[in-house]
Structure formats: C-alpha cells, structure tokens
Amino acid sequence: MAGSFYVRYGKRIFDLIFGFLGFVLISPLLLMISLWILIGEGRPILFLHERMGKNFQKFNLIKFRTMIKNADRMGPQVTGGNDARISNLGQHLRRLKLDELPQLINVLKGEMSIVGPRPEVEQYVDQFKPEYQKVLKIKPGITDFAAIEFRKEQEILKEYEDINTAYITKILPRKLELYQIYMREISLLTDLKIIFRTLRSIL
C-alpha cells in the first residue's frame, strides 16, 4: 500500500485536526439542520446505521435522518431518486450532501477517516468479501473517488426497476475499482485533492 507512513501515523493526525476544525466551523449549520428536521419531521434527528469498518469491525454510521421513521425496515439498503421513503426535507439534504456532516463525529471517534472508501453495509460487503479483505485494511471515509463519481447515485439507480440488483452488479464493482485506486495512491496530497474535488462538485 502506498504511503504506509502516512496511513499509520499522518492520516489520524490529519483526521483529528481537520475533523475538529470542521466540526467547530460547521456547528452552527449542524444546529440549524437539527432544528429544521425537528420542526419539519420530528424525532429522531440523527439516523444510526450499522456499517463495516476497518478489519470488518462494525460501527454505527451517523447521518442526519432523511427518510421516514423505520425506513430501513421497509425496503432495500440503497435508495433511488424516486424512493418514497425519502422526505421532502431529506431530498434537499441529500442533494447538498448535508446529511453526511454528522460523520465528523465518526471521524473524531476514530471509526472513520475524512477521506477513504465509503463504509458499506454487511449485506453488500459479504457479496464481495475477497475485495473487501483489501479495502477494509484502512478506515472507511466520508469522501473518496467513488463518492465523487457517484455523487448522483440516486439518479442513476432510479433508472432501474430492481435497484438492489443494479447496485450490486453495476455500481458496487466500479466503486471497488475506485477504492483500489485510492489505496494505491493514498497520501496527504491525494487526500487534499479529493477534499478539494468533493467541495467543488457540491458547490
């Protein structure tokens, strides 16, 4: 793996510094979104969803709730753009990726990195176990090459009748290719480049 010194030591320092600064800077926005959800949709404000982390250790991914209550029990683990489970407010949060902001808490807790392969649910990890044996040698992240390329994943999936099968056969294999590219190129410069490209794609 490229950049092994950075992976072992520098990446965690990077995550702590930028995770803390980011959390402090956006705390007013976090509060505003929380109140928005509370008033418009009620509780809970946050959505915890179990994902597979480094070395297959499970953790609860933290996001702002964008779907109706108990939506994860009412359909597939992935969502298309026309998924009726997504609230009107949730559509706006997802479009701007604001629902992902609470994952800075996962970063500060040491469960995720700011940059790294996106965390996946166990159901899909099991479908590609050999590939994830390599990918999960590092912590999953908030953004990466795949998150940028599939920023409009919901729009892609809504073209398919069976979005679960489409995700497994069309999207996830490509994501795994991009995860491998990141792991070969991992470095401070690569992480900064990905963060810049992520912000540019959102703005």
Peptide bond into 44 cis (omega under 30): yes
- With a cut of 90, say whether residue 3 has pLDDT above it: no
* pTM for the full predicted model: 0.88
Q: For the chain, what is the mean pLDDT? A: 90
Query: What is the per-residue pLDDT for 189?
Result: 95
Which percentage of the chain shows pLDDT scores above 70?
92
Note the pLDDT tens digit of each residue in 170-179: 999 999 999 9
Query: What is the per-residue pLDDT for 127?
Result: 94
Report the alpha-carbon distance of residue 5 to residue 120 in Å, rounded.
26
Q: How far is CA 149 from CA 8, 91, 179, 195, 202, in A?
A: 27, 19, 12, 13, 12
Note the pLDDT tens digit of each residue in 71-122: 666 666 666 556 678 888 888 888 888 999 999 999 999 999 999 999 999 9
Mean pLDDT over residues 135-144, rounded? Answer: 96
- With a cut of 80, say whether residue 149 has pLDDT above it: yes
Listed range (40-49, 88-97, 124-133, 159-168) with the worst mean pLDDT: 88-97
Reported confidence tier of residue 59, pLDDT bands at 50, 70, 90:
very high
Query: What is the per-residue pLDDT for 144?
Result: 96
Structure tokens given for 58: 């499970």
Query: What is the per-residue pLDDT for 74?
Result: 62
Note the pLDDT tens digit of each residue in 8-48: 899 999 999 999 999 999 999 999 999 999 998 888 999 99
Q: Convert the chain into a string of H (helix), E (strand) and C (coil).
A: CCCHHHHHHHHHHHHHHHHHHHHHHHHHHHHHHHHHHHHHCCCCCEEEEEEECHHHCEEEEEEECCECCCHHHCCCCCCCCCCCCECHHHHHHHHCCHHHCCHHHHHHHCCCEEECCCCECHHHHHHHHHHHHHHCCCCCEEECHHHHHCCCHHHHHCCCCCHHHHHHHHHHHHHHHHHHHHHHHCCHHHHHHHHHHHHHHHC
